[in-house]
Structure 1
Amino acid sequence: MAVSDIQTAAPVRDASTTAARIRAADFVVKRHYLRWWEALPWLLIIAAYFVFPDRLTFGTQVLIGIMFALSLDLILGYAGIVTLGHALFFGIGAYTVALLTARWNWGEPISAMLLAIVLSAAAGLVSGWFLLRYRGLTLLMLTLAAAILVQEAGNYRSDITGGYDGVPGMEIWKLFGVFENDLYGRTYYVYVGVLLFIVWYVVRRIVYSPYGAALTGIRENVRRMHAIGSPVHRRLVTAYTLAAGLAGMAGALFAQSTAYTTLGVFDFDNSAKVMVMLILGGTGRLYGAFIGAAVYLVLEDNLSKLSPTFWQFGIGLLLVLTVLFARRGLLGLLEDAIKLFRRGGNA
């Protein structure tokens, strides 16, 4: 290459590098901005209140499922913490509410929910401090074992927990002393919907913050994060604690909305179900929890009516198709379809 060609190419490279840096900086600055399409899930949730007035009890469970999936997405999708024991914190939240009302005659929903968040977060902090020193298959088995140990401890003291028969005598007081959980579930649908919005906003602020970027860096290359001096373990434990508190919140709302809790909330099935929800929707995408939880629970409800024995076949088939042909989940598939449509329009 001639000297003149090198001199000509150098400014071009510098200009392209500068442009790339400007685009990257612009993305970092604006990535937390709200987009118009982010209002769509909330518009659908509001519309469902009026379109399906006789299905709001089920709708409440869908909202709780979304909250539970969001809590898992914070650690699995963004921090790369793979766990099969997330139901541990859901169960702690549910049993906090159940035991408060059944054993200590305290059924006030807000304070019980707050206590459930604190206890679940404390359990996440203690267990996470020890368990998150491990990764991979070891961590997977340890998180599963932790949930099983707590479940078996509850089964051993069935005189307190009610075992698999459930906690008897649960009586949840009126919300704010005024709004009763009516037969159609209108009160708790609104109550859980408002709390879900708060949880979504908190999680969104976390994942788009510098701390969220650090979690993504840990997920992508934990050795490099260690090399640059990032406090990896502390950040993982913090995320695990936050996710545990949010899962406990979902468990508390589940117990309050159904006024019934058994040791089944700690089951491996519960941990696996929320992971399937997230995989269906798309991990590390914030809104994958909305799509995945809604699709899973609606399919479960309808397929179980068609075939109470073989309904899981339909869920399994959808999961296989998603893993094979939509590895970024249904949300990723939707994004690809939109990009393809835009390219066709521009052509």
Structure 2
Amino acid sequence: MLVRLAPWLIAGLALALGLLFPWLKTPLIIGLSYGFAALGVGMLIRAGQVSFGHAGFTCLSGYALVAISRTWPQADGVLLLAAGAVAGLLGGAIVGPFMARYRGIFFGMLNLALSMVLFAVLGKFYNFTGGTDGLRLERPPFFGQVLERAAYETWLLVLCALLVVAVCALVRRFYASPTGQALGAIKSNEVRLEYLGISARWIFYKGYIASAVLCGFSGGMFALVQGMVTPEMGYWVRSGEYVFIAVLGGTLQPVGAFLGAIAFEFLKLFAASVLTGAWQLVIGTVLLVLIFLAPAGLVAWLVRLDNRRLQRQGN
């Protein structure tokens, strides 16, 4: 019950905090946008594979938004966000067949290599990409209305909160589907999956595309709230943050990615204000403590509470 209500609670809490404290809107949107990418990374972790390059898909999505916005200045923000997801889908569909052939450290390093190639290309072709300075994304209309910054951020937060609820529901159904179950079986026994006549490579390819789409959502949302894109969106450090968030929140349930993302974003803000030059030390310490207290992530506590409630009802 708690696990099913958690996305609604996160969405409601984000909206309430954003309306009560307007300065929190941007951190909340950024945190939730990281959650989409972490959910994509966590989807692959459920299959036993860790990607250190999925920030490349968020970066690709962000630059796609800028290209579409400059070609079609009147493009609605909702359409741009959908275009970001499509950019992630196309990117995953193109490199997915190659990535689906590899496992373990080879899979992780190949993803890292591709994301760093994209990072280098975006930094070098200054005339097209703006180089390391990036490109500015003009504020698009929302639902046909040209909004001021405050109203724009409010609508963006509302859209992000609704997407959290919808995506968690869809991914939960995906995990319960035959494809989702087979994706998890790749981690436990890929050979047995093949003996059952199920192509592990094909299943993993579909999971890889789904994770790329989620990263596309993340990149689109991040670009819309920041108003610009830079190659740093695809740097390996950002990919590492997505892995960190996925581990912090846990992969047992989709909502874990958003729990981890919000916790990570506000922990980073707090640590940067207290220890400006050593905020990474605080985050690393928190991760080590969490590994000992909750190896399955923050969402494991919700799952444990749900299980206890069911046991009491059974008795």
- Calculate the TM-score normalised by the size of structure 1: 0.82
Cα distance between partner residues in 1 of 2:248 and 2:100: 26
Distance 1:319 1:159, change over 3 A: same
Provide structure 2 residue ranges, at least 5 long, that are not aligned to the other structure. none
- Check conservation: 2:73, 2:140, Cα contact below 8 A: no
Counterpart in 1 of 2:117?
A: 149
Report 1:287-306 matches (<5 A).
287-306=255-274
- Check conservation: 1:70, 1:200, Cα contact below 8 A: no
Give the share of equivalent positions with the same residue, in percent: 26
Post-superposition CA distance 1:125-154 (Å, at most 9, x none):
121101220111111111100101111111
Report the AA paired with residue 39 of structure 2: L
1:75 to 37, 44, 59: 44
Report 1:160-309 matches (<5 A).
160-168=128-136, 170-178=137-145, 180=147, 182-183=149-150, 185-309=153-277
Give the superposition deviation at 1:244: 0.5
Distance 1:328 1:102, change over 3 A: same
Distance 1:40 1:171, change over 3 A: closer
- Check conservation: 1:174, 1:181, Cα contact below 8 A: no
Following TM superposition, the consecutive aligned residue runs of length 4 or more in structure 1 with deviations greater than 6 angstroms are: 337-344
Report the AA paired with residue 173 of structure 1: P
Distance 1:186 1:82, change over 3 A: same
1:45 to 14, 21, 28: 14
Give the superposition deviation at 1:195: 2.4
Post-superposition CA distance 1:238-284 (Å, at most 9, x none):
11111101211110111111111110000101100011011111123
SS of the residue 1:229 aligns to? coil
- Calculate the TM-score normalised by the size of structure 2: 0.90
- Check conservation: 1:180, 1:187, Cα contact below 8 A: no
Report 1:58-97 matches (<5 A).
58-77=27-46, 79-97=47-65
Cα distance between partner residues in 2 of 1:35 and 1:246: 20
- Check conservation: 1:72, 1:275, Cα contact below 8 A: yes
Cα distance between partner residues in 2 of 1:108 and 1:342: 45
Q: Which has the higher contact order (CA 8 A, sep 6+)?
A: 2
- Check conservation: 1:167, 1:261, Cα contact below 8 A: yes
Report the AA paired with residue 72 of structure 1: V
Q: CA RMSD in A?
A: 2.7
- Which one is further off, 195-204 or 145-154? 195-204
Distance 1:107 1:162, change over 3 A: farther
Report the AA paired with residue 142 of structure 2: L
Specify the structure having the higher radius of gyration (Cα). Answer: 1
SS of the residue 1:55 aligns to? helix
SS of the residue 1:221 aligns to? helix
Distance 1:38 1:157, change over 3 A: closer
Post-superposition CA distance 1:206-238 (Å, at most 9, x none):
112122111111221111101111121111111
- Which one is further off, 253-262 or 68-77? 68-77
Give the superposition deviation at 1:198: 2.3
SS of the residue 2:298 aligns to? helix
Report the AA paired with residue 175 of structure 1: F
Cα distance between partner residues in 1 of 2:273 and 2:148: 26
Report the AA paired with residue 241 of structure 1: I
State whether structure 2 residue 102 is matched by structure 1 residue 134.
yes
Report the AA paired with residue 253 of structure 1: M
Cα distance between partner residues in 2 of 1:334 and 1:117: 29
Counterpart in 2 of 1:159?
A: 127
Give the superposition deviation at 1:197: 2.3
Distance 1:317 1:181, change over 3 A: farther
SS of the residue 2:257 aligns to? helix
Report 1:82-121 matches (<5 A).
82-102=50-70, 105=73, 107-121=75-89
Distance 1:102 1:321, change over 3 A: same
Cα distance between partner residues in 1 of 2:64 and 2:310: 50
